[in-house]
Structure 1
Amino acid sequence: MRRLALISLLLLPAALAAEMLRIDYSDPQGFGFNDPTPVPAVPGNPGTTLGEQRRAAFEAAVDIWASRLDSESLIRVEALFEDLGCGENTTLGRGGTTGLARDFFNAPKAGVNYPLSLAAALRGQIYSQFDAELRVRFNFRVDAEPCLDNISGYWYGLDPLTPPIQGTYSFLELAVHELGHGLGFQSLTERDNRQFFGDPPVPDVMSDFIFDLARDASWAEMTAAQRAQSDTSESNLVWIGPRANLRAAERLLPPGQITLAPDQPGSQRFEAWIQGYGPYLALDGLRARLVLAQGPGDSLPASDPWHRSLACQPLDNTDEVAGALVLVRRGDCTFASKWQNVFDAGGAGLLLVDNQPDGSAQAIARDFGIALDRNLPIPIWMVSDSTGLALRNAPVASTVLLGYDSTAPARGTREGFVNLEASPDNPDSNVSHFARSLAPRSVMNPFLSNSAFDGDPDLAPDLLHDLGWPDGTAKRGQYSGNWFNPERAGEGCQLTLEDGQDVPVLTCYLYRDGEQFWLIGNGVDRGDRLEFNEMIITEGADYGPAFDPQAVVLSDWGEIVMRPIDCNRARFDFQPFDPALPAYSSQMVKIVGGDCNLRAAQQPDRRRSGNYFDPQRGGEGVQLAVEADGRAWVLTFYTYLDGKQVWMIGSGNRLGNTIEFNDVVTTRGGDYGPDFDPDRVELLPFGRFILEFESCNDLRLELLSEDPRFPSGTREMTRIVPQEC
């Protein structure tokens, strides 16, 4: 895509004005965020010194939050490294507000304490008596010495497809977590006695939404003594904010279960435990044969029923394993090695059988975030020792259904509300985190992972919206523009927003068997994703004077889901209806990256972006987008040749009411999905486009072709969705 759209485009830096979150790195020279120590490169992070890599990771976390929130004011963030302990008392990081405010201008509730960051965002003014509205601190000793068992430091990689190396923690995940506390996911009560702050004590905004089901009361309605007791009430403590619970209802999964012989009378059901990270099974589960792993090199004696089933080396029974759910015993090697060997043998999933007795303190038979240093597309779930034996003794090649107990509430919820952490075993983490029982786990769980983090803050933004934070709806336009995968140059997607930025329109330009095709569809903003459930593909018309709109045939192609990480990075999930076309995902970036850390009022003017067509030539048209720098424009023309779809693309800069696109190209040679090879894509010069705006809804497009297949001509076009001029 970059080769297509940036042939003559000069990249210009985004303006530095009016950022939402301003970072103050307060470490001294030579330390922390300013550490000049040279370090090896890590995926996705441009830094060459330890300090540079730390800053790049922290700024990526800021972009994640700034893409999802809005503010009427600058919010100042102090960030630094400190000594936060080592050994049993090791703390990875701490984040929180620097002060409290109440009864400020625009305060949603009177007489209630708010964190300074939220108060400043709502009132439109910083608190000048403070140096910052929130502060985040990180433990420098984690990188400097072995403070935690099996942990050698932070992982500063930013590529969502590259998990941390074994024995490291994702610094990006930690930074997103601590910023979440500073933005307001923090109980503003005394930790020791849960007394409100102030003289006299004043309730905080979070306590309105912290609810104890056993007492049938919110924390704002309780005494300090009752709150202190409620603090460790386990699943009784829930969050009653509506937005977070709506998000939980669509994201959280029911308890796992495995059904033996699901289609037979008397089928048996066993409890299974969900791996805390993707890939996650769909709600209809995975139906497959059940096969016991068989391979060399196990330490177990021949008399052990699990002899040769540890899967620590390549499997011998690949013919059996292919397409099956594979039983593997815990022990001898890492979970990741077992997962890899089952995947390499063609297994459809791995069922890890615990080697510890049921109920043991060392048992992993629970929903668990397994540390995995790789990404593989098959599930890895767990069962207890006793369940594993029962499954092992089932008839050979039995069919099983690995899935969910749809009759039970979602993990980490009670009575329809998401649980907050309220464990008697870890009171320091209570209330200001989601419960560990959530599946999938949350970035705001009390314990971070040392596994993959793709940048998704899951339910946490919705909790902040419940507190009063403005969401990112007013800056939805930040996602508009052209997207491509750097490893799949030559294809991509273009997003614009119609009807006052409320209706996202997506076009994607792709290939099949060397020929171009394109898709178009309207979408819906779901808050954490954009869903395009009716992508359309067309055929049947011809180019230029031979075009006949009656010959255009429209068909439903499938669905595309866009899952932003921030305003410049997103995953696109392609889900075609045609069974001959596989579903796949592509990690894309903007061809012209923008500043994610902008408030809505400072977003580029995108009113001219959109979709235009000639009403007499329905079935072809153009999509025009101003890129994130506010200066570069990309135009894609969607048309036909001999009944087949064709697209041309070019970039240019606007001068007055005119944009000249001087290096327009069309292409050929690619293929769809996993078979795409960017080296096969050929760029074929088309010529030039000259676009002139005639009104806020109308334009004139002159096509100056150098390709004899496409005669030159002029199109008078209007917006598909007219806007108020």
Structure 2
Amino acid sequence: MKKNLLALCTALSLCAVGNAAHAQARITLVNLDGPNIGLNDPTPAAPIGGNPGRTLGQQRTIAYQYAMDTWGALLSSAVEIKVEASFAPLECVPGRIVLGQAAPISRIKASAVSAGGAADFEYPVALANALASRDLGVGSNDILTNFSSAIDTPSCQALGTQGWYYGLTGNAPFNTQERANFFNVIMHELGHGLGASGNSRFLGSLALRLAKSPWDGLAWSNTHSMSYNDFSVVDARMGVALTKPGQTVWKGRATNQMAALLADKRELLSITAPVAGLHEFVPADFGSSDLSPLKGEIVLVSDAVGQGAVDTHLGCDGSDGQPAIANGPTLAGKVVLIDRGVCEFSRKALSAQNHGAVAVIIANNVPETPLLAGPGTAASQVAIPVITVTQEVGGLLRGEAAVVAAGFATDANRFYGLDSTQSMRLFTPATYQPGSSFSHVDSDMTPDFLMEPAESKSVRADVAIDVALEMFEEMGWPTNRSGTAKLGGCDTTVPVYRDSFIPGANLVAQNNLCKASSANNRSQQLRCMNDHISALYAQSLLTSLEVAKARQCVAKL
């Protein structure tokens, strides 16, 4: 599990699954960028990854429209959904690089949606409109989104970013620089604006819930055995729940069933001495993916601190004004344990590697929280495997007696991203993160899910959305789960949604793109669609019968 630690944020300023197919939602872009910037940037660009745009602004707009058409094919609403979009210099500092943020522009009381609705329960405006089949926010747009213009700048790239990638067909083989996938990020942020965000949060030191909501009602605190809608508006218990890692879970049955099907069995670090045990870990987002060298004696790094000073075990080896490593010769051929703090994770790993370490374990410096180690400026130089552990596990891996690692073991009864009852965890790190905590799937999930708080190169939001549709249905969204893709009124028989995959939604979005980019050249439009159908078939996303029917529909365009 390798995650790119570029943050995806919500802006902070129940129905049964299996709905019948309805009219597709119409989602419209409202471009707020000025001339020559953001979505209007005239900088020349070569078409890439299925995106035919010839300027940066065109590629950004095309990717945005593709994402809106994809969500539109999956969801049902008789009311147009208007999405404000712009680029802005979002936060880019060591340890936190924000790619995008989004939020509903307004929330509508349930009493305005239907007779008998609770006055203290609110829906995001797009969902409220879909449920009421009328525009309850007349004269205003529905979703606010903006995306980072900073990650393409040298100062931000010095922190480990590679800028945006604008392809529409996943990252391979064109995203060779591992840039942040703009389409995936749009899909994620639109998810927030459509309703995947909660009302429970910290404002300063105060834990409060602004109003009851679909998300908060489905978020369950294992610590207190209650949903977040059941907390008081201002409630210290809620503050505890919001900072208990792994203890807030989703309670929708269909979502949890799908998550259990998708989640990988958990691999654990095996320690044989001095006390045998199995311990959770997280691979860093850099270094070798081959973890086999994590065997043998674990040696704790020592810093050359002044006489009488406490050893900090930071392993910065002179960088960031920190002391040199004092026990360098003892690290050769060993697995090296280093504490989090001060210098970048990759700097710590590189320092250990320079002293001959075969692998590195970085222990967190705050209780209970899993540690996701981002690449930093030295990542490309690190060739050994790097994993991270919690502060508690780090404490067990040091001591006077030799600690020996024996590789890894798979636990058939434990899964990434799920609690012991196989309920899907939500993201509640020990240190509250405004805009990220509570409104995401837990970053522990493997394989990576669309609604996790960090962008991942393995997500393919163009063809699969893991549990997102189940979550939306459980929040009340009408969907086209049982629908099929229709091209120009012709039914392709390709399901809009199939077991977390979205082949029909993809066909609808692609057809709109082929039509828009063909400049009224029918033969070009048909070739564009037939080539795409072949690509989906090559990925086993369409059956041969579906290919034949889809081609028949294309011929009628």
TM-score category (smaller protein):
0.5 to 0.7
Quote the residue 1:37 is aligned against.
43
Match of 2:359 in 1: 355
Q: Match for residue 256 of structure 2?
A: 245
Question: How far apart are the structure 2 equivalents of 1:416 and 1:180?
Answer: 23
The CA deviation string for residues 221-276 of structure 1, in whole angstroms up to 9 with x for no partner, is: 1112232332112222111122221211111122114899xxxxxxx986575769
Q: Match of 2:93?
A: 87
Give the paired residue count. Answer: 424
Partner Cα distance (2:42, 2:254) in 1: 43
> Any idea what the Cα deviations from partners look like across 1:306-357, whole Å, max 9, x if unmatched?
79xxxxxxxxxxxxxxxxxxxxxx9669x9xxxxxxxxxxxxxxxxx97335
Following TM superposition, by how much is the alpha carbon of 1:39 offset from its aligned partner in structure 2, in angstroms?
A: 2.7
What amino acid maps onto 1:633 in structure 2? Q
Contact residue 269 and residue 409 of structure 2 kept, 8 A: yes
What is the CA–CA distance in structure 2 between the aligned matches of 1:213 and 1:71, rounded to whole Å?
Answer: 34
Which residue does the alignment assign to 2:469? Answer: 461
Distance in 2, Cα, partners of 1:443 & 1:436: 10
**How much does 1:291 deviate?**
12
Contact 1:187–1:431 (CA<8 Å) still a contact in 2?
A: yes
Name the counterpart of 2:17.
none
Q: Residue in 1 aligned with 2:453? A: 446
Are residues 1:121 and 2:130 paired? yes
Q: 1:626 to 1:235 in 2, by over 3 A?
A: closer
Q: What is the distance in 2 between the residues matched to 1:45 and 1:29?
A: 22
- Structure 1 405/45 Cα, relative in aligned 2: closer, same or farther at 3 Å? same
Q: Distance in 2 between matches of 1:234 and 1:137?
A: 28
Closer, same or farther: CA 565–623 of 1 in aligned 2, 3 Å? closer
> Closer, same or farther in 2 for the Cα pair 1:248/1:34, shift >3 Å?
same
1:72 aligns with 2:64: no
SS of match in other structure, 2:223: coil
Query: Match for 2:208 among 187, 195, 201?
Result: 195
Q: Distance in 1 between matches of 2:263 and 2:238?
A: 27
Q: Is 1:422 matched up with 2:431?
A: no
Deviations 1:160-196 (A, max 9, x none): 2336343632212221221111010111346413434
Residues 24 and 74 of structure 2 are in contact (CA less than 8 Å); yes or no, is this contact kept in structure 1?
no
* Alignment match of 2:169 (pick from 144, 159, 164): 159
In the alignment, is the contact (CA less than 8 A) between 2:39 and 2:58 conserved in 1?
yes
Task: Say if 2:25 and 2:73, in contact at 8 Å, map to a contact too.
Answer: no
Tell me what 2:507 maps to. Answer: 567
Name the counterpart of 1:206: 215
Q: Among all aligned residue pairs of Structure 1 and Structure 2, give the percentage whose two residues are the same amino acid.
A: 20
Cα contact 2:449–2:459 (8 A) shared by 1:
no
**Cα displacement (A) at 1:633:** 2.8
Match of 2:493, SS state, is: strand
- Aligned residues: CA RMSD: 4.8
Q: CA deviation at 1:441?
A: 2.3
- 2:208 and 2:331 map into 1 onto residues whose CA distance is 60
1-structure distance, mates of 2:188, 2:36: 26
SS in structure 2 at match of 1:142: coil
CA contact (8 A) 1:44 1:158 kept: yes
Match of 1:471 in 2: 479
**Are 1:432 and 2:444 matched, yes or no?**
no
Query: What letter matches 2:215 in structure 1?
Result: M
Is residue 126–residue 133 contact of structure 1 (8 Å, CA) maintained in 2?
Answer: no
Q: Which deviates more, 161-170 or 33-42? A: 161-170
Distance 1:369 1:49, change over 3 A: farther
In the TM superposition, what are the counterparts of 1:292-441 in structure 2 within 5 Å? 304-305=332-333, 355-357=359-361, 359=363, 404-428=410-434, 429-441=436-448
Distance 1:271 1:476, change over 3 A: farther
1:135 and 1:182 in contact (8 A); partners too: yes
How has the CA–CA distance of structure 1 residues 109 and 245 changed in structure 2, closer, same or farther, with 3 Å as cutoff? farther
Q: Return the alpha-carbon distance in structure 2 between the equivalents of residues 209 and 468 of structure 1.
A: 11
* Cα 1:238/1:216, change in 2 over 3 Å: same
Q: 1:623 to 1:564 in 2, by over 3 A?
A: closer
Match of 2:7 in 1: none
**Contact 1:273–1:381 (Cα < 8 Å) also in 2:** no
Q: Distance in 1 between matches of 2:441 and 2:472?
A: 13
**How far off is 1:477 after superposition?**
3.8
- Kept in 1, the 8 Å contact 2:360–2:387? The answer is no
Structure 1 stretches lacking a partner, 5+ long: 1-16, 261-267, 278-287, 293-299, 308-329, 336-352, 372-379, 393-399, 483-493, 505-524, 530-561, 571-587, 595-610, 612-621, 635-650, 655-725
Structure with the higher fraction of residues in helix conformation: 2
Q: Is the 8 A contact 1:41 1:48 kept in 2?
A: yes
Letter in 2 for 1:236: Q
**Residues 343-390 of structure 1: per-residue CA shift (max 9 Å, x gap):** xxxxxxxxxx9733563669xx9796988xxxxxxxx99698989x96
Q: Which has the higher contact order (CA 8 A, sep 6+)?
A: 2
Q: Deviations over 1:398-435 (max 9, x none)?
A: xx9x7631122543434332111111224312111111
State the match for 1:51 in structure 2: 57
What one-letter code is carried by the residue in structure 1 that aligns with 2:238? R
Q: Look up the equivalent residue of 1:413 and give its one-letter code.
A: D
Structure 2 distance, partners of 1:480, 1:276, is 47
Counterpart Cα distance in 2 of 1:150 and 1:405: 34
Contact 1:83 1:141 in 2 (8 A): yes
Q: How far off its partner does 1:144 sit?
A: 3.2
Q: Partner residue of 2:493? A: 496
Structure 1 residues 233 and 57: alpha-carbon distance in aligned structure 2, compared to 1, 3 A threshold: same
Q: Contact 2:87–2:147 (CA<8 Å) still a contact in 1?
A: yes
Q: CA deviation at 1:59?
A: 2.1
Relative distance call for 1:440 and 1:593 in structure 2 (3 A) is closer
Is the contact made by 2:24 and 2:76 (CA closer than 8 Å) also made in structure 1? Answer: no
TM-score normalized with structure 2 length: 0.63
Partner SS, residue 155 of structure 2: coil
In structure 2, the partner of 1:236 is 247
Instruction: Give the counterpart of 2:182 among 166, 171, 191.
Output: 171
Displacement of 1:80 in angstroms is 1.0
| Structure with more strand by fraction | 1
Residue aligning to 1:633: 552
- Structure 2 letter corresponding to 1:471: T
Aligned residue in 2 for 1:591: 530
Q: Deviations over 1:634-676 (max 9, x none)?
A: 6xxxxxxxxxxxxxxxx8659xxxxxxxxxxxxxxxxxxxxxx
Name the larger-Rg structure.
1
Change (3 A) 1:625 1:72: farther
Give the whole-Å Cα distance in 2 for the aligned partners of 1:568 and 1:53: 19
Contact 2:124 2:195 (C-alpha < 8 Å) held by counterparts: yes
Residue 143 of structure 2 is matched in structure 1 by 134
Match of 2:312 in 1: none
Matched to 1:442, the amino acid is: F
Distance 1:357 1:473, change over 3 A: closer
1:528 pairs with 2:528: no
Q: Is the 8 A contact 2:70 2:508 kept in 1?
A: no
Q: 2:48, 2:166 within 8 Å by CA — same for their partners in 1? A: yes
Structure 2: gaps spanning 5 or more residues = 1-22, 286-291, 297-327, 336-347, 376-384, 511-526, 534-542
- TM-aligned CA deviation for residue 445 of structure 1: 1.7
CA contact (8 A) 1:196 1:204 kept: no
Structure 1 CA distance for aligned equivalents of residues 556 and 488 of structure 2: 17
d(CA) in 2 for partners of 1:369 and 1:172? 24
What is the CA-CA distance between 1:623 and the residue it aligns to? 8.6
